Structure 1
Amino acid sequence: MLEPLVATLITSAARTITGARSLWLGCGPQAVQRIYFANHSSHGDFVLLWASLPPALRKVTRPVAGADYWQTRPLRRYIINRVFNGVLIDRERKEPVDNPLQPMLDALANGDSLIIFPEGTRNLEEEGLLPFKSGIYHLAKSYPQAQVIPVWIANLNRVMPKGRFLPLPLLCTTSFGAPLSLEDGESKEQFLERSRAALLAMAPEHS
């Protein structure tokens, strides 16, 4: 099987190009079920976050990605399905009766951890976060036993800015914060704002 070798090559390249450092500030790399949620500025975000995990955690952690992007080309399909065992979601919702969260709920029911991007799309601004989609709230409500971990990815959008062929030699960091959980009586709006604030607090300019 070539997939483990390809995964090693991709993760090694990601760490070499970005000089990535993992900062476990509010939690440790423990073998517990988690929902990692991060800021989103590049298609390489989930690769860098996944590469930042110890090998044992990578085996049980699945990135959530849009099927409309990753299913369009054979190489993308191979990488997301065979190498990363990604959870693909239909962001276009061709069938309105389908629950777009179901693939993620199935993965959590299987005991997997997830990597999600609650902004829903890439944020091309230099600072701040887009408003969070409601999916993270529903996942936290459906699986309260899973730790919800904020992860700030710093500098990746500057390493490979749009239109540039070669990466810039900048240091990237993935900062892992303290676990969150849905509190008793907490509304969807309150949880989304609290989780968004927790992630923004991990940004270097806020730390």
Structure 2
Amino acid sequence: MTAAPVAARLLAFLTRLITGVRARWVGSAPTSAQRVYYANHSSHLDTLVIWAALPAPLRARTRPVAAADYWDRPGLRRWLACEVLNALLVDRSTGSGSREALHRIDQALAAGDSLIIFPEGTRGDGTSIGDLKPGLYFIAHQRPGVELVPVYLQDLSRILPKGEVLPVPLLGSATFGAPLTLAAGEDRHAFLQRARAALIALGEPT
């Protein structure tokens, strides 16, 4: 066995141990169906928490979408991204970056991969959810057979505040909701509003 699978199991264990994050499946259950997990974004922990919350067989075929300018650097960072997390690195630094990113995402979905994305496009403050970028609609339109699963992440920005390197001993949660698909005749604006509302609803008290 190579080092990467061992490191992946260890990383998943440490993520669950350090963050104390509880995975709650309220509108869906872990399944081998191809999915895009889309979530609110407020912490460097977000990707790891979703990835670690999945059963090991699903982790093996679920790829986080990550920025190449941060992760594609020689050394440990690239090894973790490419070998351990099997991340899909996309370059948004050029004028055609968004288009190229969507092309690479579509290629990965065509190959049967599941993905983890953050459609707000930037990190939020951990209390509100911004408007979602059109890329999520592109996926829903191009790949109608892929389930889009909202994941609401709570308190991760408090566990690892921006600019900090050591986690705070708090409990967070990752709530997985019911899968979404594009409705017949639904336009981009209506779909993105519905997808955002699904995320917000998962974070409301029950």
The TM-score bracket by the shorter chain reads over 0.9
- Which position in structure 1 is the counterpart of 2:155? 155
SS at 2:202 equivalent: coil
Aligned to 1:143: 143
Where does residue 110 of structure 1 map in the other structure? Answer: 111
Q: Deviations over 1:144-196 (max 9, x none)?
A: 10110000111111111134443211111110000100001101111111000
Instruction: State the one-letter code of the partner of 2:188.
Output: K
Alignment of structure 1 residues 123-134 onto 2, 5 Å = 123=124, 125-134=125-134
State the match for 2:35 in structure 1: 34
Q: Distance in 1 between matches of 2:144 and 2:126?
A: 33
Report the equivalent of 2:179.
179
Which SS does the other structure have where 2:145 is aligned? coil
Percent identity between matched residues is 46
Contact 2:34 2:113 in 1 (8 A): yes
CA contact (8 A) 1:64 1:114 kept: yes
**What is the aligned partner in structure 2 of residue 91 from structure 1?**
92
Determine if contact 2:126/2:154 at 8 Å carries over to the other structure.
Answer: no
Distance in 2 of aligned mates of 1:130 and 1:29: 27
Task: Write the letter of the residue equivalent to 2:154.
Answer: A
Count of residue correspondences: 205
In 2, the alpha carbon distance for the partners of 1:200 and 1:73 equals 38
Give structure 1 regions of 4+ aligned residues with deviation exceeding 6 angstroms.
none
TM-score normalised by the chain length of structure 1: 0.94
Q: Is the 8 A contact 1:40 1:117 kept in 2?
A: yes
Distance 1:181 1:129 in 2: 20
Amino acid paired to 1:152:
Y
The aligned residue for residue 193 of structure 1 is 193
Change (3 A) 1:177 1:9: same
Return the TM-score normalized by structure 2: 0.94
| Partner residue in 1 for 2:101 | 100
SS in 2 for 1:101: helix
- Counterpart Cα distance in 1 of 2:99 and 2:150: 28
Asked whether the equivalents of residues 93 and 100 of structure 1 are also in contact (C-alpha less than 8 Å), the reply is no
| Unaligned segments of structure 2, at least 5 residues | none
CA-CA distance at 1:102 after TM superposition: 1.1
Corresponding position of 1:9: 10
What does 1:37-52 correspond to in 2, within 5 Å? Answer: 37-52=38-53
The answer to whether the 8 Å contact 1:200/1:206 transfers is: no
After superposition, the Cα gap between the structure-2 partners of 1:95 and 1:131, relative to the gap in structure 1 and judged at 3 Å, is: closer
- Match of 2:143, as an amino acid? Y
Q: C-alpha root-mean-square deviation of aligned residues, in Å?
A: 1.6
- Aligned partner of 2:168 in structure 1 is 168
